[in-house]
Chains A and B, each alone.
Chain A
Amino acid sequence: MSVRAEPAVAKASPFYDPRVRGFVYQALLIGTLGWLLYEAAANAAANMRARNIPTNFDFWNKTSGFDINFTLVPYSAQSTFGDAFWVGLWNTLLVAAVSVVFATLLGFAVGIARLSTNWLVAKAAAIYVESLRNIPLLLQLLFWYNAILKPLPNVRESLVIPGLFGAPFAYLNNRGLILPEPKFGPGFAWTAAAFALGVALTAAFAVWAARAQRLTGAQKPVGLVGLAFVVGLPLIAFFAAGQPLTLDYPVLRGFNFAGGARVLPELVALALGLVLYTATFIAEIVRSGIQSVAVGQSEAARALGLGTKPMLRLVIIPQAMRVITPPLTNQFLNIVKNSTLAVFVGYPDLVSVFAGSVLNITGAAVQIILATMAVYLVISLLTAAVMNAWNNRAMIRER
């Protein structure tokens, strides 16, 4: 039996063993958190029992007894608290979707305008961005609602927004924005079907064109053909079916409007505020995204003989979008989160209906606030997951 001379290592005290220390720290953390949670839950249970506050979701199926002035799904005072939750959620999603679309459009336009070689346009865009993004959103909402929309004239003296050919298109008064309402005739389904067909044909053509370019190098006019399919086919179907879409124009009759669709001033103020505020942030994101593409990239594209349009489409925009997408996602999430300011202007969003009216009537504060937070958390995580997936596809694949 051979004995190897082991170097004598002094056994360190477990007090200095990083693994032991790590274990102790974590045990302490878990213990403290667990104790805090237990104490909070025990206190909450005792306090809620003492104050007769419900501790479950039994109220969900009870009649709510209050009305909501704007609903996308059927709802009345006889509906349940659960129905009120869905009304609020749909209203939140509506204002968020509208604001996301318009804020993105305005934000991209302003971001590009800030890089314009036209001095006046660039300065005007800079003034807009620097002023509105340094003023709290809540202040802007209150301004639009209380200082602009509320003092508008009454129904009989509505402001007229002219459409094409100067005919009145929409009306603005202290009860909201009255727009023409589209009425779909029976044959409109054909137009929709033609649109779907156009999209499918365009996709097929794009695949074929990409293969043709790989094999022969010849480029096909994908954009023009796609336009013809996507716009032309529905137009043909539309006229073939005898124009099954009419606009129901609002007409002033006595003290109110007949026809048309009314958009609440609360919704107008909220969407306007969200769009104008968020667009300033999107503009800055777009500007820095475009500026982040190195000058060498456009020079190289020119050297390869690309014109302005292919250069933008194939070289600049793909690289800029990589920088733009992650912060743009954050802005979309900010719109969803900031739509909770609806409470301040009285638009019935999720917080205003569920964490406001329902909470006040039922008193079930803990469940309702946790449920509301969970909804926003789910929306945030879902959006983040979708945008991350898209971003992973668009990222540089390094080898």
Chain B
Amino acid sequence: MDSGASRLETAYLRETPAPTLPPPALSSGALGWTRKNLFSGPISSVFTLLTIAFAAWTLPGLVRYFILDAVWRADDGAACRAPGAGACWAYIGQKFPFFMYGSYPREWVWRVDVTFVVGAALIVWLLAPKLRGKQVAAFLFFVAFPVLGFVLLSGWEAVGLPKVGTDLWGGVLVSLVVSAVGIVVSLPGGVLLAMGRRSRLPMVRMASVVFIEVVRGVPLITVLFMANFMLPLFVPDNWSPDRLVRPLIGVSLFASAYMAEVVRGGLQAMPKGQFEGAMALGLGYGRMMRLVVLPQALTKVIPGIVNTFIGLFKDTTLVAIVGIYDFLRTVDTARLDPLWAGPSISTTGYVFAAMFYFIFCFGMSRYSQYMERELSKDRQR
């Protein structure tokens, strides 16, 4: 034991704590972050410098063109045609009613606004996971809202709303009508087609597969052409559908086929036990689907459904090919107005339209990502 004691005597024992050293300057703080994330190696450094150079080359010009040199107030295109003038936002301001409603009579524009507000409220009710009463919301959106929208927008003399022909509709109004009809038709249509594709009746299965694969295999433009040129030939002469109804039919068929594949994914992901359990309880096919399978399967594929809507919303721009004045077409037509014609008009119009579509689509895709996280919570630990 004395050898241990002697060791203790010679041992060095520090009595004050060592001073705390600052962290190495190059691996922490702002400098460390920069080094780790921007200059971690020669290749990384080159890319960082290239990106900075590109931003420095483009950003100042863009800021100057769209903000600093932009014309915010003007009564006609003279100020926007001046040399050195940037984007012509005054033109957007003046054309705004045309972009929103097309040639819809100005004194009846409130009907469009009411439809927009009701539709937006119902969509929020349907989509927000915290709000209760989804079945009521679904009934209102898929059954009551289309009727209300039709009466308000198209008019009904009996209640004092004069008719407004679809040739006067335009702008955001038409874009939203086309997407809303696409949504309202394609969800039930897609569910039916998906169920048909998984049916054990061979004829039903074959009919669904042929419809889905043919529609998904051809471009939307050809479907629109078909709806526009062929549909009037297929029905008796006096039944010929309205010029706005034809592309609506085309878009609805197209969206239904895509929706069917999304819903099929949800049906396939359902464990067999759910079907068997429902059957063991004595439910028939209809009640099994309605009460047990579809509520779970549709919830599972909400992100996919929303992504299909994003695609549908972007595709509504194509209805311009059959002469419908959707939002993009009104923008594309307005830039030819001789009163405003100038070098910056096209760019301003397109950038405005791009911001509109971006806000809608980006918002929807954010919602889809949010739902994906919400839905996978049960699988997260």
A interacts with B = yes
Q: Could you tell me if A351 and B201 are in contact, using CB atoms closer than 8 angstroms?
A: no
Decide yes or no whether B40 CB sits under 8 A from chain A.
yes
Q: How far is the CA of A322 from the CA of B320 in the complex (A)?
A: 39
Majority SS of interface residues in chain A?
helix
Interface string of A106-125 (1 = CB under 8 A from B): 00000000001111110010
Q: Could you tell me if A376 and B353 are in contact, using CB atoms closer than 8 angstroms?
A: no
In the complex formed, the residue of A with least CB distance to B362 is A134
Q: Could you tell me if B230 and A355 are in contact, using CB atoms closer than 8 angstroms?
A: no
Interface string of A123-144 (1 = CB under 8 A from B): 0100000110011111100110
Q: How far is the CA of A131 from the CA of B354 in the complex (A)?
A: 9
Decide yes or no whether B109 CB sits under 8 A from chain A.
no
Which A residues are CB-close (under 8 A) to B365? Answer: 134
Q: Could you tell me if A337 and B229 are in contact, using CB atoms closer than 8 angstroms?
A: no
Q: Could you tell me if A22 and B225 are in contact, using CB atoms closer than 8 angstroms?
A: no
Q: How far is the CA of A205 from the CA of B153 in the complex (A)?
A: 72
Q: How far is the CA of A359 from the CA of B230 in the complex (A)?
A: 12
Q: How far is the CA of A40 from the CA of B232 in the complex (A)?
A: 10
CB distance from B30 to the nearest CB of A (A): 12
Decide yes or no whether B347 CB sits under 8 A from chain A.
yes
Q: How far is the CA of A29 from the CA of B204 in the complex (A)?
A: 7
Q: Could you tell me if B237 and A373 are in contact, using CB atoms closer than 8 angstroms?
A: no
Q: How far is the CA of A22 from the CA of B40 in the complex (A)?
A: 67
Q: Could you tell me if A117 and B219 are in contact, using CB atoms closer than 8 angstroms?
A: no
Q: How far is the CA of A48 from the CA of B229 in the complex (A)?
A: 12
A18-58 interface (Cβ within 8 A of B)? 22, 25-26, 29-30, 33, 39-40, 43-44, 47-48, 50, 53
Q: How far is the CA of A121 from the CA of B38 in the complex (A)?
A: 9
Q: Could you tell me if A26 and B204 are in contact, using CB atoms closer than 8 angstroms?
A: yes
Which A residues are CB-close (under 8 A) to B230? Answer: 44, 365-366, 369
Q: Could you tell me if A376 and B218 are in contact, using CB atoms closer than 8 angstroms?
A: yes
Q: Could you tell me if A372 and B222 are in contact, using CB atoms closer than 8 angstroms?
A: yes
In the complex formed, the residue of B with least CB distance to A376 is B218
Q: How far is the CA of A150 from the CA of B346 in the complex (A)?
A: 10
Which B residues are CB-close (under 8 A) to A138? Answer: 317-318, 320, 328
Task: Please count the residue pairs between chain A and chain B whose beta carbons lie under 8 angstroms apart in the complex.
Answer: 149
Known contacts: A121-B48, A139-B317. The answer to whether A29 contacts B203 by CB under 8 A is yes
Q: Could you tell me if B221 and A118 are in contact, using CB atoms closer than 8 angstroms?
A: no
Which B residues are CB-close (under 8 A) to A71? Answer: none
Decide yes or no whether B295 CB sits under 8 A from chain A.
no
Which A residues are CB-close (under 8 A) to B218? Answer: 337, 373, 376-377, 380
Q: Could you tell me if A134 and B201 are in contact, using CB atoms closer than 8 angstroms?
A: no
Decide yes or no whether B280 CB sits under 8 A from chain A.
no
Partner of B358, one of A121, A135, A344, A376: A135
CB distance from B279 to the nearest CB of A (A): 12
CB distance from B23 to the nearest CB of A (A): 20
Which A residues are CB-close (under 8 A) to B28? Answer: none
In the complex formed, the residue of B with least CB distance to A36 is B234
Interface string of B207-241 (1 = CB under 8 A from A): 10000001011111110011001101111110000
Which A residues are CB-close (under 8 A) to B226? Answer: 369, 373
Which A residues are CB-close (under 8 A) to B362? Answer: 130, 134
In the complex formed, the residue of A with least CB distance to B37 is A119
Partner of B219, one of A121, A340, A365: A340
Interface-central residue, A26, A39, A134, by most chain B CB under 10 Å: A134
Q: Could you tell me if B38 and A118 are in contact, using CB atoms closer than 8 angstroms?
A: yes
Q: Could you tell me if B51 and A25 are in contact, using CB atoms closer than 8 angstroms?
A: no
Q: Could you tell me if B203 and A26 are in contact, using CB atoms closer than 8 angstroms?
A: yes
Q: Could you tell me if B317 and A136 are in contact, using CB atoms closer than 8 angstroms?
A: yes
CB distance from B368 to the nearest CB of A (A): 12
Decide yes or no whether B110 CB sits under 8 A from chain A.
no
In the complex formed, the residue of A with least CB distance to B227 is A369
Partner of A118, one of B47, B225, B310: B47
Which A residues are CB-close (under 8 A) to B353? Answer: 139
Which A residues are CB-close (under 8 A) to B44? Answer: 116-118, 121
Interface-central residue, A30, A130, A146, A369, by most chain B CB under 10 Å: A369
Which B residues are CB-close (under 8 A) to A150? Answer: 346
Partner of A134, one of B220, B347, B358: B358
Q: Could you tell me if A151 and B219 are in contact, using CB atoms closer than 8 angstroms?
A: no
CB distance from A36 to the nearest CB of B (A): 9
Q: Could you tell me if B354 and A135 are in contact, using CB atoms closer than 8 angstroms?
A: yes
Which B residues are CB-close (under 8 A) to A33? Answer: 207
Please provide the 7 A-B residue pairs with the shortest distance between their CB atoms, ordered closest to farther: A134-B361, A380-B217, A119-B37, A40-B234, A337-B219, A26-B203, A365-B229
**Can you name 5 extra interface pairs (CB under 8 A) apart from A44-B230, A143-B350?**
A26-B201, A48-B233, A135-B357, A365-B229, A373-B218
Q: List 24 A-B contacts (CB under 8 A).
A: A25-B201, A26-B201, A26-B202, A43-B234, A44-B230, A47-B237, A50-B237, A116-B44, A134-B358, A134-B365, A135-B358, A135-B361, A136-B357, A142-B332, A337-B219, A338-B219, A343-B221, A344-B320, A365-B229, A369-B222, A372-B222, A376-B219, A377-B214, A377-B217
